[in-house]
Amino acid sequence: MTAQSTAPRPSALDGARLRAGGVVASEALKLATVRSTWWSLWVSVLLALGLAAILGGTLDGVESVEGATQLAATAATVHLQLVGLVVAVLGALSIGGEYTTGMIRSTYTAVPRRLPSLLARTGTVALAAFVLGLITTGGSFALIAVQLAGKGAAPVVDGEVLGALVGGAFHLAVLGAFSVGLGALLRSSAAAIGTAVGVLFVLPIVVSLAGALLDAQWITDASRYLLSSLGTTLSRLPDESGTGVGVGTAVLASLAWAAAALVPALLVTRVRDV
């Protein structure tokens, strides 16, 4: 009697591990099934629309269409700083929470190369933030436009207005990618959130004080490329940003901020233990 040797049957998971579509779908499903994701999105929308309603109610004395358009476009993006904080927290939690609970081991077992998983997560969060930005900026502009139209000055939607609204959404997408990179790099939600808050709110104050105390023009010039300043450039009409940075330059500089967090995160994620 001879023993028969049977080759192990290939697991269906072995073929699925390398499929990009499956990895993206998995990350999107994880983001969509977390309750905090929906709370964050709803809070952001309500916050943006509520602020727009308040601002729209206070805008008076606008007679020209051009003036109404400028005011509506500016007021429609005022919320981006607050919503940007929500997006940064969401991005940090999306991966930092897995390190805290240990679920990251299951994630990287399913995707042994790790990098596709991190890239898919980054893209998913960035896309969600971009869509959120389109909803909040577009909804805010529409709400303010209705209020101004009732006062006799209806804003118009032209290429510059659309550019400002889409630019604001792009800024939120960059913040989402940046915060995911921080979460993967630091492996801690709290540390990633703290770093994001520092970059968005503390660093501009420090740079502004340093420029004033040292009377250094180069510091003032450099402050235009801070992440928060770039968001202002992207979300305002060209003649109202006041930063002296072109839109194309602002897009590239924003992508550089995202890369500054993501590239180190990708490098260390590939080699270190989880």
Say which range, 2-16, 63-77, 226-240, 247-261, has the weakest mean pLDDT.
2-16
Is 7 a domain residue?
Answer: no
**Quick one: pLDDT band at residue 113, thresholds 50, 70, 90?**
confident
Whole-number average pLDDT of the chain: 87
pLDDT in tens, 94-112: 998 888 888 888 888 888 8
The answer to whether residues 91 and 176 touch, using CB atoms and an 8 Å cutoff, is yes
Is 2 a domain residue?
Answer: no
pLDDT in tens, 122-154: 999 999 999 999 999 999 999 999 988 887 777
Domain interval for residue 161: 19-271
Is 3 a domain residue?
Answer: no
Domains in the chain, number: 1
pLDDT in tens, 27-49: 888 889 888 889 989 999 999 99
| 3-state DSSP assignment of residue 64 | coil
Q: Is residue 186 predicted with pLDDT exceeding 70?
A: yes
Is 10 a domain residue?
Answer: no
